[in-house]
Amino acid sequence: MRDKALEKFLRYVKINTQSQDESDTFPSTSIQFDLAKLLVEELKELGLTDAAVDEHCYVMATLPANCDTETPTIGLIAHVDTSPEVSGENVKPQTFENYQGGDIVINKAENIVISEAENPGLKKCIGQTIITSDGTTLLGADDKAGVAAIMTVIETLQENPDIKHGPIRIAFTPDEEIGQGVAHFDVKKFNADFAYTIDGGVAGELNMETFSANAASITVKGRNIHPGTAKDIMVNAIRVISAILAKLPADMSPETTEGYEPFIHPMNLEGSVAKASVKMILRDFKTPGLDTQKEILEKIVSEVQEQYPKATITLEITETYRNMRDELEKNPHVTERLWAAAEKTGLTPYWEPIRGGTDGSRLTALGLPTPNVFAGGSNFHSKTEWLSLEGLEKSVQTILNLVTVK
């Protein structure tokens, strides 16, 4: 299984599937179809005759049950896109066998280093094979490791009919990295009793809770005029937006928080004298905490508006996703099954809150209980992203344990 998973992963990461935040299409980039169509072909070659990709770039397929036992229909889900934050074009993966600890220099010329101190997961990977990019792009383990794991599971089951399993539904989604992964996902069509996203971190890490999330956008309209005659006339939107950013609480940023601590994070800043805007993400594991963050931003806007009365400042907040824990706790058999599957693999599993989100957040809210399974990687959305090959193999084994009839 290890060789199969490695071959698939190395092949998939070389296909650029980067999504795009500002796109007005769905999927946000047409290049995501390149991998989606390839996966359909491979699924059909494996005998999944209903494999297809729709106009929204959702791939769905069914592996029928090969047992007489009445079993639930289990969904396996991963996303094909990679983060828009770092290029996913022309990925050149490289492997470091028998890792023995310490920093990993992946690009000496550019001084791109995976720091052991910043990557505690590496301490669990002594003796393992670590896969990285060449330091000029991200790797794409998020989430092509999940895609490779699912495809390896399907191939393994088809080649070993003695492994009995119930019906399995497979889905590969686009645009997860920009929060739109299930915007057009048809839960009824997918027709699974429950599902698992394969979109997590190092081996053994399981996820049943995410942040609750909102997005915030602040726009400032100023007034431009020649700076030589600007006294008492110019309203510099750049100065106004800077004043807003300066008032954000320093102890509520990604750089200063961990675990269950919430944050407000400016993600994108654009500006000129006449108009400036900032886009932020708001995160808290407790959904009511998002109301507190809204109040913080409203107070800041009010204070800055008083400081710059001639500026026009608008704040817009929209819902993104909600913590899936509440709904998953109503379906304990789904998480208990995952825990048992990981233990059977020989791991010591643990529940880790995701300081982010997955397709599973919104799918769970839509009525499809969907916790998250590790895929073996870490340092996502960066040039120092890495994947443990043995972690990927453990992911495959865990999924097989999930779907196997006991």
- In this structure, what CATH number is given to the domain that contains residue 234? 3.30.70.360
- 232 included as an active-site residue: no
pLDDT at 358: 84
376 and 311 together in one domain: no
Residue position matching structure tokens 């443990």: 388
pLDDT, tens digit (0-9, with 9 covering 90-100), for 141-196: 999 999 999 999 999 999 999 999 999 999 999 999 998 999 999 999 999 999 99
Q: Output b/e per residue, 305-325; b: 16+ Cβ within 10 A.
A: beebeebebebebeebbbbbb
218 and 199 together in one domain: no
CATH code of the domain containing 388? 3.40.630.10
CA atoms within 13 A of residue 23's CA, in its CB half-sphere: 17
255 and 278 together in one domain: yes
Catalytic-labelled residue, pool 81, 175, 385, 390: 81
Residue position matching structure tokens 């550019």: 110
pLDDT at 233: 97
Calculate Rg over the CA atoms of the chain. 23
CA distance 200 to 186: 23
pLDDT at 139: 98
CA distance 372 to 222: 45
pLDDT at 374: 97
CA distance 166 to 120: 37
180 and 299 together in one domain: no
- 22 included as an active-site residue: no
94 and 20 together in one domain: yes
Q: Which residues of the chain have pLDDT under 50?
A: none
95 and 241 together in one domain: no
Domain of 230 in residue numbering reads as 212-321
pLDDT at 121: 93
Catalytic-labelled residue, pool 176, 209, 327, 385: 176
200 and 223 together in one domain: no
Looking at 268, 299, 321, the residue that finishes a domain is 321
If phi > 0 it is left, if psi is from -120 to 50 it is alpha, else beta; for residue 376 that is left
pLDDT at 102: 96
pLDDT at 1: 83
Global pTM reads 0.89
In sequence order, what are the beta bridge partners of 284? Answer: 212
The number of domains in the chain is 2
In sequence order, what are the beta bridge partners of 82? Answer: 18
255 and 294 together in one domain: yes
Residue 220's nearest CA partner among 199, 235, 232, 201 is 235
User: 361 to each of 174, 294, 321, how far by Cα in Å?
Assistant: 15, 21, 6
